[in-house]
Structure 1
Amino acid sequence: MRLVLLGPPGAGKGTQSTRLQDKYKIPQLSTGDMLRAAVKAGTPIGLKAKAIMDAGGLVPDETVVGIIAERIDEPDAKTGFILDGFPRTVKQAEALASILHAKHMDLDAVIELVVDDRALLARIEKRAQESIARGDAVRADDNPEAFRKRLESYHAQTAPVSAFYAAKCALKAVDGMAPIDDVSAAIERALHERKNAAASTRAGGA
């Protein structure tokens, strides 16, 4: 099972990724974790990324893509993986498609957790107010203004990515505002629909 999980901050991707990991026994791959692991392992690409980061630069797409290409060849990813936080742009989505094609792999599905921005912001503002009422410092993630900017950035970058996968009939939208168990069930239905559609396509081409 090879999946891409899309969704803005606060949409519940972490919770759903954990459930999918447990069910399908596949790793969740985040670009941040992969970069740190490659640097720690001292791989050629990891050393290149380290040099860039040490100089205060942003790791370019080709380096991130190279690290992903290495990571999905690891034994624990042979039966599948969940990509979280990648691709963020159409350019990255095209690069991922090239990687998978070269390895004779396909994505099974791209799941997008669709949420209501206003509801998410209200949730963040409530948490911030509760922290203040307790006399606690407001977590960086719970700063409403910073969170609003993260949401705007996400939608600006990812809307074209959603369209990219929708054009390939790979995108399945799931209501991320539903209760956690309902979201999990909707993801399972989406995966079964994709699996059945793929089977029909193969049968039609036989």
Structure 2
Amino acid sequence: MVNLILFGPPGSGKGTQSAKIIDKYGLIHLSTGDLLRSEIANKTPLGMEATKFMDQGLLVPDEVVIGMISSKLDANPDARGFIFDGFPRTTAQAEALDKLLALKKTAISVVLSLEVPEDELIKRLLNRGKTSGRSDDSSEDVVKARIVEYHNKTAPVADHYAKFGKFRKVKGDGSEAEVFDLLCKELNELVAEKV
């Protein structure tokens, strides 16, 4: 089983590249945002628990999110692997995820981080803001703040996985196809090892 975390600041191409990776390698996309919405819509016990916090304007506690991830893993016992999206965002979440995966007799295989220069990210996001209607992509100050927030929050998570030799940087400022080729070079080794 190949379990991948794809990192990258806003505008680095995570969404585009995730879709291509899922298609090529048959991994299951595990988006914590999608999981939350699904659990709430289906009125599951975890969804109802999450709603209690969200209705008060609070973040959903890590243990509730981990419970949702556990359910998703259990619902897909024959999966070739998972690509984690939006989680973990903190070292505590990374440690909780590692414990959960260990219980399931698996682990994070690799964390691939799309590295894109900040000026390129700003340009991409402002261009996206012109067509997407996303308010968080329309102001250069807001875009810069999001990039700083990303680096502040995820740097410790990167350090956590680097300790185990699982963190790799991938040049993310080439064409879509060039970046995908670089990601595939990293993943092909892992997939070959798991076969």
Cα distance in 2 for partners of 1:179, 1:15 equals: 12
Aligned to 2:96: 95
* C-alpha RMSD of the superposition: 2.2
1:192 aligns with 2:188: yes
Aligned to 1:146: 142
Structure 1 residue 142 displacement after superposition? 2.6
Structure 1 residue 194 displacement after superposition? 4.1
Structure label with greater radius of gyration: 1
Structure 1 residue 72 displacement after superposition? 1.6
1:13-92 aligned at under 5 Å gives the runs 13-75=14-76, 78-92=79-93
On the 8 A contact 1:26/1:80 being kept in 2, the answer is: yes
On the 8 A contact 2:28/2:79 being kept in 1, the answer is: no
Structure 1 residues 52, 127: CA separation in 2 closer, same or farther (over 3 Å shift)? closer
Match of 1:159 among 150, 155, 162: 155
Structure 1 residue 114 displacement after superposition? 0.8
On the 8 A contact 2:29/2:82 being kept in 1, the answer is: yes
Q: Deviations over 1:118-176 (max 9, x none)?
A: 22113334566xx4xxxx99641232111111111100000111111111011121011
Q: Deviations over 1:42-77 (max 9, x none)?
A: 221111001111222211112111111111222277
Gaps of 5+ in 1: 200-206
Gaps of 5+ in 2: none
Aligned to 1:106: 107
TM-score (structure 1 length as normaliser)? 0.85
Percentage identity across aligned positions? 40
Cα distance in 1 for partners of 2:142, 2:86 equals: 18
Code of the residue aligned with 2:141 in structure 1: it is E
Aligned to 2:123: 122
